[in-house]
Chains A and B, each alone.
Chain A
Amino acid sequence: MDSQWQIYQVFEKERADLPHRNAGSVHASDAEMALENARDVFVRRPNCLSLWVVPERAIFSKTVEELQDNAWRTEMQNTSAEESYLVFQKQGQTARETFVVHVGDVAANSPQQALERALETFDDKNVFVWWIVPERAIIKNEASDAPSMFEPAHWKKYRNHLSYPVEPIMRELKSAQEMLEE
């Protein structure tokens, strides 16, 4: 079958006081193109300060339902050296909360151990999904590239519905018609 390249998960930071959150994914042939594709796909509108991409295969994920089965704990192989893992959670069910967001980091020598430590370290009330990502797998945009990647979206006023003020015209027409009918 035809190649559609690799899948990279994309994380965007929308505001200085908000964590990176999973926006979706992009297909790309390599890391640099993944970062660029993430910019072009997810930063058409002015809401991005920073982008991360991660090859999908580097993500270890468990839903709360999956955690009920303890089998993953026995899959643990502590062979590699300790390294830093990023921990992500989905913390709610409403439209606003339903995204997977970055909550912090742990050191561990396998994704399974990282999850175990994350379960101890981070509040797990109202958590529905856990993602564990080795920090070395994350490709981040350079801070110096941020202006050329993210600023232009602010100028694209044509993507804002306020550039097409149709309501006042329709209201005017409506009141004119009502006056006629009276």
Chain B
Amino acid sequence: MSEQEKLQEFEARIARGEKIEPGDWMPEEYRKQLIRMISQHAHSEIVGMLPEGAWITRAPTLRRKITLLAKVQDEGGHGQYLYHAAETLGATRAEMIDALLTGKAKYASVFNYPSLTWADMGMIGWLVDGAAIMNQTMLAHCSYGPYSRAMVRICTEETFHKKQGMEQVIKYARGTPPQKAMVQDALNRWWWPVLMMFGPHDSNSPNSAQLIRWGVKTKTNDELRQEFINKTAPDLQLLGLKIPDPALHYDEASDNWISGEIDWDEFWRVVKGDGPCNKERLAARRDAHENGAWVREALNAYAERFEGEG
């Protein structure tokens, strides 16, 4: 078979709804794009542990503390499943981590914003995880088997992440004046970074069309963003919270909530490493990695010495 025929057969398989499995022929570009996407996604889960992880020790009730720790732990699990999916394409975890720590790999820019108050735990759970769920539900249908399987598992785990956040926002929005102020302030700071999570406009997203054709994605950035706004904006307003977008309005004709324009300069600045916490986040990951080197080495040494002895 010529490369051209292989490509045709590959695209026909995807059109029939088949999943591509490790070992199957795939265009080099498909492999490359998937490694890029999946490893970015994995890094996002891991770096995403940090802004919330910082508040585990300060959670105001025992129940919230346990929930938050379980959620942060789950995000680690998601990163673990995703690194696994990328490994099936020939990337190694060591290489991927190296790319993250040296600043070569990207991750979701939303995690480069600081978590400043406890109410951020509610807002992150509802909005950040809520946005992630929309993206992940789509990716569960992805044409690459291991990625879609990781997503099936992740999606079932995510539901509580969002709901525990929502539960907090509901409570604080109807709570004491300081709680109300705190949760409004959290919304003010997180709303725009969350909308940016869906990525640039379709017109500025060069890979989008091909990823859709190859069944990796089934919806565009703008479609997902619109779905998210439609789903979230009315609920936030119902709670008496004010969304920090004077241009936001409901459009009867399209049945959509139309938002104002995202500050794309800020978006690119943060993506390129110049957000409020980029350095801090990478430094935390680098510390964990370097401080753990002797531990990983020790277990290798033990395994070599006692191979087969159990």
In the complex, which residues of chain B have a beta carbon less than 8 angstroms from the beta carbon of A3? 94, 296-297, 300
The docked-state distance in angstroms from the alpha carbon of A3 to that of B303 is 13
In the complex, which residues of chain B have a beta carbon less than 8 angstroms from the beta carbon of A5? 296, 299-300
Whether A156 sits at the interface, judged by CB under 8 Å, is yes
Whether A83 sits at the interface, judged by CB under 8 Å, is no
Main secondary structure of the interface of B (DSSP, over half): helix
Interface size of A in residues (CB-CB distance below 8 Å)? 45
Is the beta-carbon distance between A161 and B235 smaller than 8 angstroms? no
Whether B260 sits at the interface, judged by CB under 8 Å, is no
Whether B210 sits at the interface, judged by CB under 8 Å, is no
In the complex, which residues of chain B have a beta carbon less than 8 angstroms from the beta carbon of A23? 153
With beta carbons under 8 angstroms apart, the residue of B17, B24, B310 that contacts A63 is: B24
Whether B238 sits at the interface, judged by CB under 8 Å, is yes
Q: A1-B94, A5-B296, A156-B70 are in contact. List 18 more A-B contacts (CB 8 A).
A: A1-B95, A3-B300, A4-B92, A4-B93, A26-B80, A29-B299, A30-B302, A44-B157, A45-B156, A90-B21, A95-B141, A98-B152, A129-B23, A158-B160, A166-B163, A166-B167, A166-B170, A170-B238
The docked-state distance in angstroms from the alpha carbon of A65 to that of B6 is 11
A65 in contact with B23 given A93-B17, A159-B70, A166-B163 (CB within 8 Å): yes
The docked-state distance in angstroms from the alpha carbon of A159 to that of B19 is 30
With beta carbons under 8 angstroms apart, the residue of A44, A95, A128 that contacts B77 is: A44
Whether B264 sits at the interface, judged by CB under 8 Å, is no
Is the beta-carbon distance between B67 and A158 smaller than 8 angstroms? yes
Proximity bits, B245-276, A CB within 8 Å = 1, else 0: 00000000000000000000000000000000
Q: Tell me the chain A residues, 135-167 only, with Cβ under 8 Å from chain B.
A: 156, 158-161, 163-166
Smallest beta-carbon distance B79→chain A, Å = 11
Smallest beta-carbon distance A133→chain B, Å = 16
Smallest beta-carbon distance B234→chain A, Å = 9
Interface size of B in residues (CB-CB distance below 8 Å)? 56
Smallest beta-carbon distance A166→chain B, Å = 5
Q: Hey, which bits of chain B sit against chain A, CB under 8 A?
A: 17-19, 21-25, 63, 66-67, 70, 73-74, 77, 80-81, 84, 87, 92-95, 97-98, 140-141, 145, 148-150, 152-153, 156-157, 159-160, 163-164, 166-167, 170, 235, 238-239, 289, 293, 296-297, 299-300, 302-303, 306-307, 310
Q: Identify 27 residue pairs between A and B in the complex whose beta-carbon atoms are under 8 Å apart, listed by A's number.
A: A1-B94, A3-B94, A3-B297, A23-B153, A24-B150, A26-B80, A29-B300, A31-B310, A32-B310, A33-B299, A45-B156, A63-B21, A63-B22, A65-B24, A66-B24, A93-B19, A95-B140, A98-B149, A98-B152, A128-B18, A128-B19, A158-B160, A159-B70, A161-B159, A166-B170, A169-B170, A174-B238
Q: Hey, which bits of chain A sit against chain B, CB under 8 A?
A: 1-5, 7, 23-27, 29-33, 41, 44-45, 61-63, 65-66, 90, 93, 95, 98-99, 128-129, 156, 158-161, 163-166, 169-170, 173-174, 177
With beta carbons under 8 angstroms apart, the residue of A4, A44, A62, A169 that contacts B94 is: A4
A24 in contact with B95 given A63-B24, A128-B18, A158-B70 (CB within 8 Å): no
With beta carbons under 8 angstroms apart, the residue of A26, A31, A62, A65 that contacts B25 is: A65
A170 in contact with B235 given A32-B310, A65-B25, A164-B166 (CB within 8 Å): yes
In the complex, which residues of chain A have a beta carbon less than 8 angstroms from the beta carbon of B17? 93
Main secondary structure of the interface of A (DSSP, over half): mixed
In the complex, which residues of chain B have a beta carbon less than 8 angstroms from the beta carbon of A63? 21-24
The docked-state distance in angstroms from the alpha carbon of A23 to that of B85 is 11
Q: Which of A5, A23, A161 is most buried by chain B, counting CB atoms within 10 A of its CB?
A: A161
Is the beta-carbon distance between B63 and A158 smaller than 8 angstroms? yes
The docked-state distance in angstroms from the alpha carbon of A24 to that of B145 is 12
